[in-house]
Chains A and B, each alone.
Chain A
Amino acid sequence: MANIAERLATVKHVIVVLSGKGGVGKSSVSTQLALSLYASSPNARVGILDIDLTGPSIPRMLGVDDRGVHQSSAGWVPVYADGSEARLACMSVGFLLKNKGDSVVWRGPKKNAMIRQFLSDVRWGDLDYLVIDTPPGTSDEHLSLIEHMAPVRDRLSAVIVTTPQAVALLDAMKCLSFTRSVGLPVLGVIENMSGYACPCCNEISNVFSVGGGKEMARTEKLAFLGALPVDSKLVTLLDTPNAASDSSSSQQGFGLLTQYQKTASAELFVGIVGQLAEKLGSE
Chain B
Amino acid sequence: MIAVQSPLSVPDPRSVPSNAPEHCPGTNSELAGKSDACAGCANQDVCASGVTKGPDPALPFIKQRMASVKRKILVLSGKGGVGKSTFTAQLGWAFAADDETQTGIMDVDICGPSIPTILGIAQEQVHSSSSGWSPVYVQDNLGVMSVGFMLPSSKDAVMWRGPKKNGLISQFLKDVDWGDLDYLIIDTPPGTSDEHLSVVQYLKESQIDGAVLITTPQEVALQDVRREIDFCRKVGIRILGLVENMSGFVCPKCKTESQIFQPTTGGAKRLAEETGVELLGAVPLDPRIGKSADYGVSFLEEYPDSPASVAYLNIIERIKAILAN
Contact = CB atoms under 8 A, between A and B. Distances in A.
Asked if chains A and B come from one complex, the reply is: yes
Interface of A: 20-24, 27, 52-55, 57, 60-61, 100-109, 111-112, 135-140, 142-143, 146-147, 163, 165-168, 170-171, 173-178, 181-182, 196, 198-201, 203, 205-209, 230, 232, 235-236, 238-240
Given A107-B26, A109-B26, A147-B2, A101 B230 contact: yes
Contact of A181 (B31, B118, B159, B218): B159
A23 B1 contact: no
Interface in B286-313: 287, 290-291, 293-294
A134 to B, nearest CB: 11
Contacts of B163: 108
Nearest to B258: A199
Contacts of B111: 20, 136-139, 174
B155 A173 contact: yes
Contacts of B158: 138, 174
Contacts of A163: 81
Given A165-B293, A181-B3, A198-B256, A60 B262 contact: no
A178 B256 contact: no
B160 interface: yes
A108 B2 CA distance: 16
Nearest to B228: A103
B254 A235 contact: no
Given A166-B294, A174-B112, A105 B159 contact: no
Contacts of A21: 80-81, 112, 114
B1 A173 contact: no
A22 to B, nearest CB: 1
Contacts of A54: 78, 190-193, 227
Contacts of A177: 155-157
Contacts of B235: 105
Contacts of A136: 80-81, 111-112, 189-191
30 contacts: A20-B112, A21-B81, A22-B81, A23-B79, A23-B82, A24-B81, A54-B192, A55-B79, A55-B190, A61-B220, A103-B228, A105-B196, A108-B162, A108-B193, A108-B194, A109-B25, A109-B31, A111-B193, A136-B190, A139-B161, A166-B293, A167-B114, A171-B112, A174-B112, A181-B2, A201-B253, A230-B260, A235-B260, A239-B262, A240-B219
A246 B197 CA distance: 40
Contacts of A137: 109-112, 189
B251 A108 contact: no
B249 to A, nearest CB: 7
A143 B159 contact: yes
Contacts of A142: 159
Interface residues of B, number: 76
B64 interface: no
B117 A166 contact: yes
Nearest to B115: A167
Contacts of A147: 1-2, 22
Contacts of A175: 157
Contact of A60 (B81, B192, B223): B223
Task: Output the residue of A23, A168, A178 with the most chain B CB within 10 A.
Answer: A23
B156 A203 contact: no
Interface of B: 1-3, 22-23, 25-26, 29, 31, 35, 78-82, 85, 109-112, 114, 117-118, 154-163, 165, 189-194, 196-197, 216, 218-221, 223-224, 226-231, 234-235, 249, 251-254, 256, 258-262, 264-265, 285, 287, 290-291, 293-294
Task: Output the residue of A24, A52, A53, A108 with the most chain B CB within 10 A.
Answer: A108
A20 B221 CA distance: 18
Given A23-B79, A109-B26, A170 B117 contact: yes
A106 B234 CA distance: 13
A16 B310 CA distance: 41
Nearest to B287: A207
B155 A236 contact: no
Given A21-B81, A174-B156, A239-B219, 5 more contacts: A54-B191, A101-B223, A102-B230, A135-B80, A138-B158
A238 B220 contact: yes
Contacts of A171: 112, 114
Contacts of A174: 111-112, 154-158
Contacts of B23: 109, 112
B252 A203 contact: yes
A200 B262 CA distance: 16
Contacts of B26: 107, 109
Contacts of A104: 192, 227
B294 to A, nearest CB: 4
A139 B85 CA distance: 19
Contacts of B265: 239
A23 B223 contact: no
A239 B216 CA distance: 12
Contact of A107 (B156, B193, B227, B253): B193
B76 to A, nearest CB: 11
Contacts of B112: 20-22, 136-137, 171, 174
